[in-house]
Structure 1
Amino acid sequence: MSAAATATTGVLSGFRIAVTSQRRSAEFIEALERRGAQVLHAPALATAPLQGEAELLGSTRRVLELRPDHVLVCTAYGFRRWFESAEAAGMGEELAEVLHASRIHVRGPKALGAVRALGFDAESVAADELTGTLVAQLAPGLAGKSVVLQHHGHPDTEATAALLAAGATEVVGISPYRWVAPEEPGRLEVLLRALCSGSLDVLTFTSAPAVLALLEAARLHDCGDEVLAALQSTVCTVAVGPVTAAPLREMGIEPLVPERHRMGAMIRTLVEHLGTNGSIQCATALGNLRLRGDTVKLEGAGEARELGESQLRIFKSLVSAGGNVVARPALAALLPAGSSDHALDMAVSRLRRALPDARLISTVLKRGYRLNT
């Protein structure tokens, strides 16, 4: 089967999905497109090594001096990055000795895999992949102990304070990388416009900082309220795990979260959700209608038809009204700002031509339009 054929018959065909991650994004995007999705890639943040690495190497030297009792590993990438940096600076062998002598604890399975891949063993894993849970598990035995905490992109002051409050004598923070602005910020602007215009079905996140970065970008572009409203209502939001989901939930957004916090599980959860909830079906005077993503299918009327962004917004409004009249001003508000009354008529005319049957839309003179039910 050709790539084009796969895109039109895949389980995600008709759906528009945004990917906000930088790392491993190519693999994620390929998996979504292979299932037929239209993908918008707009990294909200990028990861970068610490400039000059002086701070990281200084912290590593302190770890070698301290010979810590406990080492908390929060991310697979961060642990690998730390060890690679130490090896490049000639400290790899000594760091390995220190880590073998320490009790290593990891936040989740990915971090566990990285630790084992480098030849180390981990004593415990947080049950819910939360740093706070890992700290709480260790707290009863931390009095008089020294701890290394590998950060997830930025210093975790809350976890550090909790470790010290539990009696740790010293907490050395290891920051192998930092979050920086994306290389192509224009992509993020395109994503924000898509959210505000209603042309996205799904928004995916693989890190909590990316959630915060996107919402901050929305605020800076004066569309924070519109983006928040979209995420709380029409857009399906997917988070790879509970850490990523936390800032969304704090703002009243309930994302999909897979039971296993992996990219593959994330895709399966999304496929299952859209298969059950991603389509709108209704009866019309011309037969049963199904709207799946941006694709409309009328029973007995040939092939499904794909709608453009403006067409989709207008048609969704008519379908949602269930045969009731949607007033002209309400429909005009779905078009670009400044559109004339004539522009609405032209948009509806184009929509009719794009539909399987133009008679699906009825004109109500001087009032508006409605779905022909």
Structure 2
Amino acid sequence: MSTTDAPSFAGLRVATFESRMAGPIAELITKYGGVPVTAPALREVPIEDNPEALAFAERLIAGAFDVVLFLTGVGTRYLAQAIETRIPRATWTAALNQAKVVVRGPKPLAPLRELKARVDLQAPEPNTWHEVMTLLDAQLPVAGLRVAVQEYGKPNPELIEALERRGASVTRVPVYRWVLPEEIGPLRRAIAAVAAGEIGAALFTSAQQVEHLLQVAAEEGREADLRAALGRATVVGSVGPTTSETLREHGLPVDIEPEHPKMGHLVAAVAAGWRAVGKAVPPAL
């Protein structure tokens, strides 16, 4: 590939709604010649005094679960922290190792290693509930099994329903929830810029970012303009299938989705492919 063909935003303004990784994704956008517009759309809030986590640990110790499914790394850490306010680590992790431990993707692996917990099955990319169910159907049929699911952000009803349809007894273990950032000024300004046709690309790295973007846009009276701009003038990049599914459920386009559901792959894919989408993007700065 020649220098002229190298992936580049060529000065486009690129909106990102990341929170924890706001700095790194802005650096990547800049690296690819874009102007980052950073507008965090959510923050993770641990569920304080989490009775569900403690009840889960007590039932786990009593041998009440055959399978424990971990969905996220952050949620796995928060779950351990909540449990260990009352129950020693060695006690509950010994019980965990008596069950089958399944992870949705790679992110729970590090915290589980720290806990010295065994991992029996890991779902492949793109790490959605579909891959989890395909894996279980092939290697660990759940009919008649008692399954605990560490939930993240908001519930995943499709996963719960799929498990129950196969005859599993499912216990949900909510560990953290998503709320809007304490300061939503940057998000409001980004919405106004998108609605005005000033943003060349918008990058979504989680489904909840989509929910919050539309929520705030509606509160600001800009939802119709936002939707029109995302359809006409702003290239929409989605990190992976779960986020893409949410965008489409809300009637929004998915112009570019990388082969691998990773933030760096998303930025590179949009930098390489935005021109081919054919939208009337605004002039570069």
TM-score (norm 2): 0.86
Q: CA deviation at 1:116?
A: 4.3
Q: Which residues in structure 2 correspond to 1:122-141 (within 5 Å)?
A: 122-139=120-137, 141=141
CA distance in 2, matches of 1:83, 1:202: 38
> Within 5 Å, which residues of 2 pair with 1:355-370?
none
Counterpart of 1:173 in structure 2: which amino acid? R
What CA deviation, in whole Å up to 9, does each residue of 1:156-176 have, x standing for no partner? 2332233222112x3221222
Equivalent residue, structure 1, for 2:83:
86
Q: Could you tell me which residue of structure 2 aligns to residue 317 of structure 1?
A: none
Question: 2:101–2:120: 8 Å Cα contact kept in structure 1?
Answer: yes
Match of 2:205 in 1: 206
| Pair 74,109 (structure 1): closer, same or farther in 2 beyond 3 Å | same
* Farther off after superposition, 132-141 or 30-39: 132-141
Instruction: Tell me if the contact between 2:9 and 2:271 (Cα under 8 Å) persists in the aligned partners.
Output: yes
What is the CA-CA distance between 1:292 and the residue it aligns to? Answer: 8.8
1:77-156 map, 5 Å:
77-116=74-113, 118-119=115-116, 120-139=118-137, 141-156=141-156
Residue 163 of structure 2: aligned partner = 163
Conserved? CA contact 1:22–1:46, under 8 Å:
yes
Aligned to 1:101, what secondary structure does the other structure show? coil
Residues 199-241 of structure 1: per-residue CA shift (max 9 Å, x gap): 1011111111111111122122222111111112211111111
For the residues of structure 2 that align with 1:58 and 1:132, how far apart are their CA atoms? 28
1:261 & 1:173 partners in 2: Cα distance? 25
- CA–CA distance in 2 between the matches of 1:255 and 1:105? 32
Equivalent pairs, count = 275
Q: If you compute each CA radius of gyration, which structure gives the higher value, 1 or 2?
A: 1
What secondary structure does 2:75 align onto? helix
**Over residues 90-116 of structure 1, what are the superposed CA-to-partner deviations in whole Å (9 max), with x where a residue is unaligned?**
332222112222222222233345544
Deviation at 1:88, TM superposition (A): 3.8
How far apart are the structure 1 equivalents of 2:205 and 2:182? 18
Percent of aligned pairs sharing the same letter: 28
Matches within 5 A, 1:1-373: 11-116=8-113, 118-119=115-116, 120-139=118-137, 141-168=141-168, 170-250=169-249, 251-274=251-274, 276-277=275-276, 294-295=283-284, 306=285
> SS of the counterpart of 1:225?
helix
Aligned mates of 1:127, 1:27 — CA distance in 2: 22
User: d(CA) in 2 for partners of 1:41 and 1:241?
Assistant: 20
Deviation per CA, 1:354-373, whole angstroms, max 9, x where unpaired?
xxxxxxxxxxxxxxxxxxxx
Is 186-195 or 156-165 further displaced after alignment?
156-165
- Asked if the contact 1:202–1:235 (Cα under 8 Å) also holds between the matched residues in 2, the reply is yes
Distance 1:259 1:114, change over 3 A: farther
- Cα separation, 2, equivalents of 1:41 and 1:244: 19
Decide whether aligned partners of structure 1 residues 253 and 279 sit closer, same or farther in structure 2, where only a CA change above 3 A counts.
Answer: closer
What is the Cα deviation at residue 123 of structure 1?
1.6
SS class of match (2:60): helix
Unaligned runs of 5+ in 2: 1-6
Gaps in structure 1 of 5+ consecutive residues: 1-9, 281-290, 296-305, 307-373
Partner Cα distance (2:262, 2:278) in 1? 26
Give SS of 1:51's match. Answer: coil
Taking structure 1 as reference, are residues 279 and 128 closer, same or farther at Cα in structure 2, changes over 3 Å only?
closer
Bigger relative contact order, structure 1 or 2, given CA contacts below 8 A and separation 6+? Answer: 2
Q: Give runs of ≥4 in structure 1 deviating > 6 Å.
A: none
* Kept after mapping to 1: 8 A contact 2:239/2:266: yes
Q: Secondary structure at the match of 2:101?
A: strand
Distance of 1:12 and 1:160 partners within structure 2? 40
Counterpart of 2:208, as a letter, is P
3-state SS of the aligned residue for 2:84? helix
> What SS does structure 1 have at the residue aligned with 2:14?
strand
Output the TM-score relative to the length of structure 1.
0.67
- Alpha-carbon contact 1:63-1:172 (below 8 Å) kept: no
